[in-house]
Chain A
Amino acid sequence: MVPIAFSAIALAVGGRLGKYAGWLAFAVLTYTTGLLGFILFQLRSWGGSLVASYPWGRYLGDFTLVADGLSTPFALVISMLAALIAIYSISYMEHERNLHAYFALYLLYSAGMMGTVLVTNLAAFFVFFELMLIPSWALIGVWGTGAREKIAFKYFMFTEAGALFLLAGIVTARFLAGTFDVFAIAAGMERVSVGTAVAIVSAILLGLFVKMAIFPLHTWLPDAHAEAPTPISALLSPAMVGIGGYAAIRIVYTAFPMVLGHGQFVMALVVLAVVTMIYGGYMALAQDDIKRLLAYSSISQMGYLLFGVVSLSALGLTGAVLIYVSHGLGKAILFMVAGIFIHTLHTRSIRELGGLAGRMPYSATATLLGFLTLMGAPPLIGFWGEFFTFGGSIYTGTGFGGVTAPNLTRIWVTGIAVVFSAMTAGYGLWTVRRVFFGGTPEPLKEAKEGPRLMTAPILVLAVVAVVLGIYPTVLTNVAAPFLSQLLSGLTPAMGS
């Protein structure tokens, strides 16, 4: 595991190779993807997790990387997206300057994301959390569009403010529990009251929710996604924002299980998730800039992810993992297609697009598949994500798993969430119709499909989304047993 983080960083520093830097980045990331894929397939026979641990410091504890049923799917998606988007970048960024710096930062950013997911020491987690913030800030500020410095600053300030809360929570936990290790905190927190734990978790979640752009902390996201260079948008949204969801599962379920017994606190989170879902979807309906539409759609999808996270059931958590994967694949496809419009047609306004299905068949097919996975239509991976997420919440509501008593409020809130999931289909299909169907405006009569380096990654992701949709067992086999175990350890802790 270690080579992943470190080789990426080392190569980033030495990656000043001009235009070959992109291919180098691709090679490195393909290697990590292969490695993580191998781990994914071997995980069950290795007894559930792969741990690499190094002493770090007396106060900080060990620096530990762990690949288990939860972190591996996340890390694999991040790595795969980063590898494919590196290829896409080569073509998209061909007219830009300082590409070596771009790819160096790009690698650093990818390494930061993977590190955040794989690390278990909360101090190290915070370091990686910052490591994915700073390069992305630079990438937006230097290669972005529009008022890029201002937007990058806003992004930075919002995330940083959230990160300070996160840090406060982590450090407090260290004081009370005596360790940074996420697996050891729970034991050290036994004598701490639930009220305090709720306060700590609130601080941590506040930091994570800024990253996930949960309503009302979402305002940095539409700007940042819209004005970042498109390859970075395609990493920010699908890969990075969802890490908040991962961290919420990892930290809250592993380290602070007693919080989950606090019914009102959990219900508040459920409501927050539903509000984010609906709000993001509503805002997406109002957009004309295609990248902004996708940004609001990401906010909505993060609502789904959070909904899975607070479902209190292994099924719902598996759903959250699959939603992350589905959103990762789908949104990356959609941002990359938006990038093709910007690159070849020089517009991003939906009003100026139309009737492109015949002229850009690959992009059209991929876009439809991308939106279908977001709206949870079979046979795409998103179907299983939404199915398990909502199913998990309903089972918790009816007392199916025995984790909590039956809770009718939860069932009705879940019902509302499911009903509003039609909104995703609404803005998705409406966008497809406005962009790809109907008449073609005069300036686009000569429109052609994007260059091959740009379409190939998109098609690869579309195929992966379908294959995983038909055979999700690849992921669930690894994720579900781990999460079930996590939850079965939870039930007694929550009773306290």
Chain B
Amino acid sequence: MLEYTPWLSWVFPILGALLTPALARIHPRVRDYAAVGFSGLGAFMAFLMFLGYPQVLKGEASAGFYPLSVEWIRVAGVQVKAGMLVDPLSVLMANVAAWIGLLIMVYSLGYMRGDPALTRYWFFMNLFIGNMVLLVLADNLLLLFIGWEGVGLCSYALIGFWHRDSPEDRKTRWVGEGAEEYPPSHCGMKAFLTTKVGDIFLLVAIFLIYSQAGTFSFLELQGNLAWARSLAEMGLLIPAALFLLGGPLGKSAQLPLMEWLPDAMAGPASVSALIHAATMVKAGVYLVARVFPIFFSAMHSGLPSLIVFFQAVAWAGALTAFVAATQAVVSREIKKVWAYSTVSQIGYMMLALGIAGFLTGDALVAAFAAALFHLVSHALFKATLFLSSGSVSHACESRFMDDMGGLRRLMPFSFLSMFIGALALAGVPPLSGFWSKEGILKSVVEAFQASAQAPFLYTLAALTVGLTFFYSLRVVGLVFLGGKSAHLQKAEKLGHHVHEAPPLMWIPYLALALITVAIGALAPLLLEGFLSMFSPSLSTLAHLEGGEAMEAHSPLGEWLVLLTSTLMLALGGIPAYYAYVAGRWNVKAWVERRPELKALQVFLLRRWYINQAYYRVFVDPALKLSDRAHRVLEFHGLLRFSSLVASGVTTLYSRLRKTHTGVFNDYAVGLMGGLTLLIVLLVWLGLGG
């Protein structure tokens, strides 16, 4: 029975999604609780995988299991199998997705109450969870791609959930400011299209790999690397590897495809928490981790140029981490800060996975485990942050932090949760984020010997630590401390008082915050667990090069990391404390006085002008060009062509008219004559050849 759990863990949520419309007919309450129930069943099944496959926990499952792998489609020599791959990585990811998903479903019961389109909401939420779990458990690239597209579709539907785009909701349901303010339906479309660009590259990579390997299966791809060599002979191996990276860069919102995620905040807070923090955006990290062993072993079996893949991953991650963090510093919208921060933190995970490719031995295992540990800890604290932000914006009826302020006593549970989440995000010891971020930084230091690029990567990563602490404290200060904003005072005069969210909402995010604390306390133990879980499956990789295996952490590296991160925390934290917690510095006035700072603020608020550049380069010209081409080619060109043909026919007709009487005959003779000529011509050609 237990061997069915990998299948059931995604089938249950999808079944729940399909039943939602039917259950809605019975009673709306039945529908709501059933939806949560089905995701709960899925989560329970995900948990049972630990019992069904105890080897996974012990890290003995290096070979992976294929419970019930079935043939799905066979076309002209191409065989597509549907099977589940159970290994430490997939079980971990499935449980993160299913359990955080469940808590967010519970939160939704309160948060989304009274929405007229709840059937659609539950349908896509459950469909999303099902597809996400399918994605991480799939044993081959194609099945993974199907789940991948499924979560993309759900995110499109959920970001644009409030698709009416009504101007009255501008303060709560839209996103962005000024020229870059977008309604929800625009954001949903933008997310889908941007990630689709990455997905298309991924698809090309899948084709290329399959054309030489004849299999989609991860384990078979790793087992026999002949395909990599024959791709390399054609000069297609590096393109294939980089195209494959396109998918993760899009889905995980890394540069250059990060611009959709900040705007995805137009969706409900629960959606942001589930999709744009805890699960879907991690799919890219998961895929990189999944193909890591494949490319790594190919690199060490005579294809050293593949290091480009790992360099690309590391640089994309480090640059994104830094760029997104700078944007988070100035954003005025609470959820958007967390969105930038999500992008930035995923950058850390990518960095660690890229760096792992530079390393060998225990250092490799440590880097790999650090990336995944950060993934788990980030999923927990970022879900807390988003869910509590949802409560706060809901209570204040605004998405702007300028409209909040002084909420600490009014919303104590939300305050506590967000405070813990923010400190964990900033990497303040001893919370979970501290351990996971330290692990990543240490790995980058270890790579100093292996690569001259590592110090640059380290600088970016270290700077980001300071920025992260700064913006985390800024949010807590602006929202919960200080005096009430003008917006809130006006609302109170009208008799609208801010109060704490109902328990159905705060229990989930407080629980997540407490788990974050617990993980922080148990981190050293958990890290050991992570290492022992991953090292057996990675040890074959780690010792590919034999003698020169690297130590996990050198003492010098430990000190360097401790020193820089303390320094950066101080650099980020002290100004933030004076400006936003103690309230002694008036940052606003200060920025106003200095034009260069003002320019910097605008530059960051406008998102480094990347978003705008994309619209200017890709969207607007495409629309303009199609409009112009349509007018010139289809309309005027055709008109001229038609009139030319018409006048030609008329001339011909009037000439023939002199010798013939009937119109039909003119045509018939012309047609027959032409036809005969053509046939004679073709036959002549045929006999000649």
User: Shortest Cβ distance from A69 into chain B, in angstroms?
Assistant: 11
Q: Which of B75, B186, B188, B679 contacts A318 (CB 8 A)?
A: B75
User: Shortest Cβ distance from A496 into chain B, in angstroms?
Assistant: 13
Q: Judging by beta carbons under 8 Å apart, are A422 and B75 in contact?
A: no
Q: Chain A 379-394, CB within 8 Å of chain B: the 1/0 string? A: 1000110011011101
B61 interface hit (Cβ, 8 Å): no
Interface set, chain A 392-415, CB cutoff 8 A to B? 392, 394-395, 397-398, 400-401, 406, 408, 411, 414-415
Q: Judging by beta carbons under 8 Å apart, are B678 and A285 in contact?
A: no
User: Shortest Cβ distance from B625 into chain A, in angstroms?
Assistant: 7
B contact residues around A326 at 8 Å (CB): none
B403 interface hit (Cβ, 8 Å): no
Interface set, chain A 351-376, CB cutoff 8 A to B? 355, 357-358, 372
Q: Judging by beta carbons under 8 Å apart, are A438 and B200 in contact?
A: no
Q: Which of B203, B207, B236 has the most CB of A within 10 A?
A: B207
Known: A171-B679, A425-B192, A433-B185. A196 touches B626 (CB 8 A): no
Known: A193-B689, A355-B164, A422-B196. A378 touches B189 (CB 8 A): no
Q: Judging by beta carbons under 8 Å apart, are B77 and A285 in contact?
A: no
Interface set, chain B 175-208, CB cutoff 8 A to A? 183, 185-186, 188-189, 192-193, 196-197, 200-201, 203-204, 207-208
A463 interface hit (Cβ, 8 Å): no
User: Shortest Cβ distance from B449 into chain A, in angstroms?
Assistant: 38
Q: Judging by beta carbons under 8 Å apart, are A484 and B77 in contact?
A: yes
A contact residues around B625 at 8 Å (CB): 282
User: Shortest Cβ distance from A380 into chain B, in angstroms?
Assistant: 10
User: Shortest Cβ distance from A107 into chain B, in angstroms?
Assistant: 28
Stretch from B368-376, B386-394, B529-537, B627-635 forming part of the interface with A: B627-635
B166 interface hit (Cβ, 8 Å): yes
User: Shortest Cβ distance from B64 into chain A, in angstroms?
Assistant: 24
B210 interface hit (Cβ, 8 Å): yes
Q: Chain A 227-243, CB within 8 Å of chain B: the 1/0 string? A: 00000000000000000
Q: What's the Cα separation between A438 and B193 when bound, in Å?
A: 18
B contact residues around A282 at 8 Å (CB): 622, 625-626, 629-630
A42 interface hit (Cβ, 8 Å): no
Q: Judging by beta carbons under 8 Å apart, are B163 and A484 in contact?
A: no
User: Shortest Cβ distance from A259 into chain B, in angstroms?
Assistant: 13
Q: What's the Cα separation between A388 and B483 when bound, in Å?
A: 62
Q: Which of B77, B630, B682 contacts A286 (CB 8 A)?
A: B630
Q: Judging by beta carbons under 8 Å apart, are B682 and A283 in contact?
A: no
Stretch from B107-115, B149-157, B519-527 forming part of the interface with A: B149-157
Q: Judging by beta carbons under 8 Å apart, are A390 and B622 in contact?
A: no
B648 interface hit (Cβ, 8 Å): no
Known: A195-B689, A394-B207. A315 touches B76 (CB 8 A): yes
A483 interface hit (Cβ, 8 Å): yes
B contact residues around A169 at 8 Å (CB): 682
Q: Is the interface of A mostly helix, strand, loop or mixed?
A: helix
Q: What's the Cα separation between A200 and B683 when bound, in Å?
A: 9
Q: Chain A 286-297, CB within 8 Å of chain B: the 1/0 string? A: 110000000000
B593 interface hit (Cβ, 8 Å): no
B669 interface hit (Cβ, 8 Å): no
User: Shortest Cβ distance from B163 into chain A, in angstroms?
Assistant: 4
B674 interface hit (Cβ, 8 Å): yes
Q: Judging by beta carbons under 8 Å apart, are A419 and B211 in contact?
A: no
A467 interface hit (Cβ, 8 Å): no
B contact residues around A436 at 8 Å (CB): 163
Q: Is the interface of B mostly helix, strand, loop or mixed?
A: helix
User: Shortest Cβ distance from A307 into chain B, in angstroms?
Assistant: 14
Report, as a range, how many residues of chain B touch the other chain. 35 or more
B146 interface hit (Cβ, 8 Å): yes
Interface set, chain B 491-537, CB cutoff 8 A to A? none
User: Shortest Cβ distance from A433 into chain B, in angstroms?
Assistant: 5
User: Shortest Cβ distance from B169 into chain A, in angstroms?
Assistant: 11
Q: Which of B150, B200, B623 contacts A419 (CB 8 A)?
A: B200
B160 interface hit (Cβ, 8 Å): yes
A219 interface hit (Cβ, 8 Å): yes
User: Shortest Cβ distance from A16 into chain B, in angstroms?
Assistant: 29
B contact residues around A480 at 8 Å (CB): 74-76
A contact residues around B663 at 8 Å (CB): none
Interface set, chain A 424-469, CB cutoff 8 A to B? 425-426, 429-430, 433, 436-439
Q: Judging by beta carbons under 8 Å apart, are A476 and B75 in contact?
A: yes
B2 interface hit (Cβ, 8 Å): no
A473 interface hit (Cβ, 8 Å): yes
Q: Which of A219, A318, A438, A476 contacts B164 (CB 8 A)?
A: A438
Residue of A nearest to B625 (CB): A282
Q: Judging by beta carbons under 8 Å apart, are B150 and A283 in contact?
A: no
Q: What's the Cα separation between A203 and B682 when bound, in Å?
A: 10
Q: Judging by beta carbons under 8 Å apart, are B678 and A168 in contact?
A: yes
Residue of B nearest to A157 (CB): B645
Interface set, chain B 29-86, CB cutoff 8 A to A? 72-78
Residue of A nearest to B239 (CB): A415
Known: A283-B629, A372-B153. A314 touches B76 (CB 8 A): yes
Residue of B nearest to A440 (CB): B164
Q: Judging by beta carbons under 8 Å apart, are A199 and B685 in contact?
A: yes
A377 interface hit (Cβ, 8 Å): yes
Q: What's the Cα separation between A150 and B165 when bound, in Å?
A: 42
B contact residues around A165 at 8 Å (CB): 678
Q: Judging by beta carbons under 8 Å apart, are B193 and A439 in contact?
A: no
A contact residues around B686 at 8 Å (CB): 172, 175-176, 192-193, 196, 200
Q: Judging by beta carbons under 8 Å apart, are B163 and A438 in contact?
A: yes
Q: What's the Cα separation between A196 and B686 when bound, in Å?
A: 5
Q: Judging by beta carbons under 8 Å apart, are A286 and B197 in contact?
A: no
User: Shortest Cβ distance from A478 into chain B, in angstroms?
Assistant: 11
B602 interface hit (Cβ, 8 Å): no
Q: What's the Cα separation between A280 and B274 when bound, in Å?
A: 38
25 of the cross-chain contacts (CB-CB < 8 Å) are: A154-B642, A168-B675, A176-B683, A314-B76, A377-B149, A378-B149, A390-B204, A391-B210, A391-B211, A394-B207, A400-B212, A401-B77, A406-B234, A411-B208, A411-B236, A418-B204, A421-B200, A422-B193, A422-B197, A426-B622, A433-B163, A437-B163, A437-B185, A438-B185, A483-B76
**What 3 A-B pairs come out closest when comparing CB atoms?**
A193-B689, A314-B76, A437-B185
Known A-B contacts: A283-B626, A473-B73, A476-B73. Give 14 more (CB < 8 A). A195-B689, A196-B685, A203-B678, A219-B641, A282-B626, A283-B630, A286-B627, A358-B164, A379-B146, A394-B204, A394-B208, A419-B200, A422-B193, A487-B76
